[in-house]
Amino acid sequence: MTNDFSKKSLLDFIESPNDLKELTLEQLVLLSKELRSELIDIVSKTGGHLGAGLGVIELTIALHYVFNTPDDKLIWDVGHQTYPHKILTGRRKKMNSLRQKGGISGFLKRSESIYDHFGAGHSSTSISAALGMAVARDKLKKKNKIVAVIGDGAMSAGMAYEGMNNAGIIKSDMIIILNDNDMSIAPAVGALSDYLSNVVSSRPFNTVREIAKQMIDFFPKEISQTAKRAENLARNILNKYESTIFSQMGMFYLGPIDGHDVNSLVKILQNLKDGPNHGPVLLHVVTEKGRGHPFSKVSEEKYHAVSKFSVVTGSSLKSVSNAPTYTEVFSETLCKLAEKDKKVVAITAAMPSGTGLNNFKRKYQERFFDVGIAEQHAVTFAAGMATEGLKPFVAIYSTFLQRAYDQIIHDVVIQNLPVKFMMDRAGLVGADGPTHAGSFDLAYLLCLPNVIVMAPSDENELSKMIFTASNYDDGPIFCRYPRGEAEGVQIEDKLVSLEIGKGKIIKKGKQIAILSIGTRLTEVLKVYEHLKSDGILITVADARFAKPIDTDLLKNLFLNHDALILIEEGSSGGFSSHCLNYLSSENLLGKESKLIKCLTLPDFFQDQGSQKDQLTDAKLDKDGILYEVKSIISKLNINNELKNKIG
C-alpha cells in the first residue's frame, strides 16, 4: 500500500518496521531528522537515557529497513540506545509513559514486544546472547539473520570478548555492530572508508573471495602460500585496520564507517544480509553520542541519563531539595579523607559521575582509577592494591557488583583483604526498574565469612561509616546506601569511627520493638510518632551493621518485648534471615512465645515506577509498616483501651 507522505510527517506513517520499506533512501534521511526531534521531545518530558539513543537514529532506521524484523533478530546491548527502536516498533504512542509505573520500560523487555528478543539492563551481554541464538537457528535449520549491536564502552567488559572468542571458533553466521561513539579503535577516513567498506562487503567481492579461497587448496604449496599472502595484502590495502584484534579472533572486520550516513549504512547492511555466509562479521560504525542535541555536546556524561529537562535551555526540571543525595555525601566525605590520607584511592567501573567520584577525580587524579565496564577487574584490581597497603574504595552500584561476586569471594574475602566497597543504589531505584534494583546485596554478602556490612539510616551515619571503612584494616568492609536524596539531617563536622557490630536504640517503648537496617528508619520513626499520639510507645532501634549483628541488642529487643519486627530494603535471605538464624542458634525461638515479623522486599521483581510507589507497593513506607504494627497489636494481649485507640 502506497501512502501519501505529503500530508503528514513520515514518522506518522510508521507503525511497524514494515512501513519503513515503503520509503526511499532520500526519505530515510528526512525520517532520521523527525525521529531525532521526537526522541528529544519525549525524553525531555519523561527523563531517561538520551545521548545513546540520539547517536543511533540512522543505524536503527537502517537496521529495520534492511532486515526483516522480528524474524531477523536485533540484539541490543544494555538498552540505553533502544528508544528509537521502540518508537519504530509500534510503541510510539506509549512513549510518554517511558520509565513510569505500568509504562514502557527504559530497557529491553521480552514481555513488552516481539521485537525485544533479549532483555537487557546490564552491559556486554549482546554478543553471547546473539551467538546462542545463531547456534540455535543453525540447529533448527532456520535461515534468519542475527545482529548484535554493542557500544564501545560495553566492549571494555570481558564478557564481550568471551563471546567474540567463542563466535570466532563456532563460525555461525552473525553480524556484530560496534557502535563507536567515544573511543575510536581506528580513525574514520570519510567517504573513502565508506566506499572501501561497501566494496569489501559487496556480493561480487565476497563471491570472488570465496572462489579464491577454494581454489587455493588445489594449487601447489608455493603458489598457495603466495595467494594467501596476496589476499591478505589486498585486504590490508582496502582496509589497513583489517588485522585488528577482531580479525585475529576470527571476525570478518569491516569499517570504520560513518554511522550517520543512513544511505551508506543501508547499502552495506544489505550487502552483508545478501552476501555469502562467512561466519561472524564485525561492522565498526562511528557515531556521535547526543547528536542533534546541543546540550549533550556540552556534557555527554550529564546527558547520558537525564531527568525531565527544558528543550530550549537544556536545564533540568527536577525539583530542588536542600538535602544532598547519598552519593554526594559519599563524594564529599571521601575527598575529606583523601586530603588527610595519601593511601586512599578510588576505583569505579565506568561510573565516575553516577558514583560521585568526579570530584575526587578532579582533586586527586593520580589516585583515581576508572577501569571501564569491568566490575570483575575492578574488584581484583582493588585487592591487589590492598595487598600493598593502599586503601582502595570501590564505588559500584549494588546491582553491578553482582557481576563480580566470584572476585569478591575468591580475591578479597578468602584472603581477608581490606577493600572498602561503597554500594550505591542499594534497594529500590525507581524508573530504571528491576535490572538496576540493588535488592540482593545483603543476601549475597551476609553468607560470607570475614566481611563487615553496614547500612546508614541517614547522611550523618553514612559519613561515619565511610570514616569507619577508611580506618578498618582487618578485612573487607561493605557499605550500602540508596539512590536519591538523603534525610536532611545535619552532618557532624568531626568524623568518628563506629564500633564495629554495634547498633543503637533510638526510641524506648514497650511490648513491640522494631529493628531497622538502613534508611527505612525514617519511615519507622514516622510510625513511632503516629502511635505516640495514640498513647502507644514502641521501641525503635537502628541496627547499623547487618554483619556482624549486634547480638546483645537483638537479644534485648527479643526477650524484653512481646513482638519484634525486622525491617530492611532488601530481599528475603538478608538481614532478617541473619537475625532469625542467630536467635535460632541460641535456642530462643522455640522457648519464648513471641511474635516475629520480617518486612523485606517482596519475592518478585518489582516493575519500574517512582521509588515512592515501589516502596508503597513493597509495604515498606510509613503506611505499610503501620499496618503491620497495628496487626500485631491486635494479636497481642494489649488492653482494650489501646486497641480502641488504634482502630
Catalytic amino acids?
289, 375, 403
Contact indicator for 394, 422 with CB cutoff of 8 Å: yes
Q: How far out from the chain centre does Cα 112 lie?
A: 19
Instruction: Report the alpha-carbon distance of residue 169 to residue 279 in Å, rounded.
Output: 9
d(CA 210, CA 231): 11
Question: Which grid coordinates belong to 558?
Answer: 527479643
What's the distance, Cα to Cα, between the start and end of the chain in Å? 66
Amino acid code (one letter) for 184: S
- Copy the grid coordinates of residue 104: 514502557
Q: Enter the DSSP assignment of 606.
A: P
Phi-psi region of 475 (alpha: psi -120 to 50; beta: other; left: phi over 0): left
Neighbours of 247 (CB within 10 A): 16
Q: Grid coordinates 555492530 are at which residue?
A: 177
C-alpha cell at 92: 510510539
- The single-letter code of the amino acid at 490 is Q
Distant-in-sequence, close-in-space partners of 585: CB < 8 Å, separation ≥ 6: none
Helix, strand, coil in percent for the chain, rounding step 5: 45, 15, 40
- The C-alpha cell of 562 is what? 512481646
Adjacency order of strands within the sheet including 252-258: 73-76, 146-151, 174-180, 280-286, 252-258
Instruction: Give CA separation, 567 vs 399, 460, 487, 576, 625, in Å.
Output: 20, 20, 18, 7, 9
CA distance 200 to 202: 6
Q: Is 307 helix (H, G, I), strand (E, B) or coil?
A: coil
Query: How far apart are the C-alpha atoms of 75 and 108, rounded to whole Å?
Result: 9
**Residue reference for cell 516475629:** 596
Give me the long-range contacts of 247-252 (CB less than 8 A, separation at least 24).
249/161, 249/164, 249/165, 249/167, 249/168, 250/167, 250/168, 250/169, 250/171, 250/279, 250/280, 251/164, 251/167, 251/168, 251/176, 251/279, 251/280, 251/281, 251/282, 252/278, 252/279, 252/280, 252/281, 252/282
